Amino acid sequence: MESSIKMDQNNNLPFSFVVLAAEPIFDIAGFTITNSMLNAYVAVAFFILVAFIASRRKSLVPKGIHNIFEALIEFVQNEIQKVTENKRKTKQFLPLVATIFFFVLFSNWLGLLPGTGSIGIWEMMHGELELVPLLRPATSDLNMTLAIAVLAIASTHFAGMRELGVFHHFSKFLNFRGIALAFKKGPMAVIISLVEFFIGLIEIIGEFAKTLSLSLRLFGNVFAGEVLMTVMLGLVSYIVPIPFIFLELLVGIIQATVFAMLTLAFLVVATMSHGEGEEEHHEETATVAAHG
């Protein structure tokens, strides 16, 4: 739980409050390390250790902890397959989607460990003695969630360029070729192409909206959970906060799932050509008509 502790005016009774921005801990060659970054590095170190252990398997039949690793990856792969309905795309999207899911989940849960937000260094800040926590949940820092969102949206464009080609992918946003061809078909085609061109400009704005939506949703939910836990522990220190801790565990799973599934949905849309979308639409229409 992330909170800072101040001494009162008499310097004898500490009180807690929630800090919006991550606090700097130390500098390395002019590069500032914050407490949220420390938690992120802990998560990275954990997954490096997991990857090392998983790579040590020598037999084809998994044993012990390797069964857990394989079950988790297989579960994520099956869930991705349900969305893509394409084995090739499933294998292509699995590394990114699984990495985002497990990193966000572990970062959310890491903030619930004892000592997070309560173990730190007393420093004089703004004329008052404050406790600067050494650890802060990485996903409660807007910089971190924004960075993950930028990575996710940028990856959708790279996947789209690789699947459809650079020109065809960006023609979804700036369809100059469609306007040029429309002049050969007549005035109505020109009007339609201009409308589609402006819709493409709206799609560009939509890409920025996706990035902000992903980052703010995750940051807002995790930070709100930190505020809730700080308030509850400030009111009652024992027993009562326990249900809220389990609630935060559930919220951590939900937020990791939402972030990963939205990333997957954006990847699927980015790698889908206009022809594929039309074919799927016709198939769905035919199916509804057949059952009607």
pLDDT in tens, 11-65: 444 444 456 677 788 888 888 888 888 888 989 999 999 888 888 766 666 677 8
Across the chain, mean pLDDT equals 78
Query: H or E segment at 204?
Result: helix 187-235
Show the domain range for 189: 4-291
* Helix extents (H) in the chain: 35-54, 65-84, 87-110, 142-164, 166-170, 176-182, 187-235, 241-270, 274-291
Q: Quote the DSSP letter at residue 133.
A: E
Decide: 280 and 125 in contact? Cβ < 8 Å.
no
In contact, 101 and 76? CB cutoff 8 Å: yes
How much is the pLDDT for 22? 75
CA distance 97 to 264: 6
Can you give the length of the chain in residues?
292
| Dist CA 72 CA 122 (whole Å) | 41
SS3 for 279? helix
* Count of structural domains within the chain: 1
* pTM for this predicted structure: 0.77
Q: Is 146 helix (H, G, I), strand (E, B) or coil?
A: helix
At residue 64, the pLDDT reads 75
Helix (H, G, I), strand (E, B) or coil at 63: coil
C-alpha span between 154 and 213 (Å, rounded): 15
Mean pLDDT of 188-192: 75
The helix-helix angle for 142-164 and 87-110 (nearest 10°) equals 180
What are the pLDDT digits (tens) for 144-154?
999 999 999 99
* pLDDT tens by residue, 83-103: 998 899 999 999 999 999 999
Q: Can you read off the two tokens belonging to residue 149?
A: 């969102």
**Is residue 142 scored above 60 in pLDDT?**
yes
Residue written as token pair 């969102």: 149
In the predicted structure, residue 282 carries a pLDDT above the cut 50? no
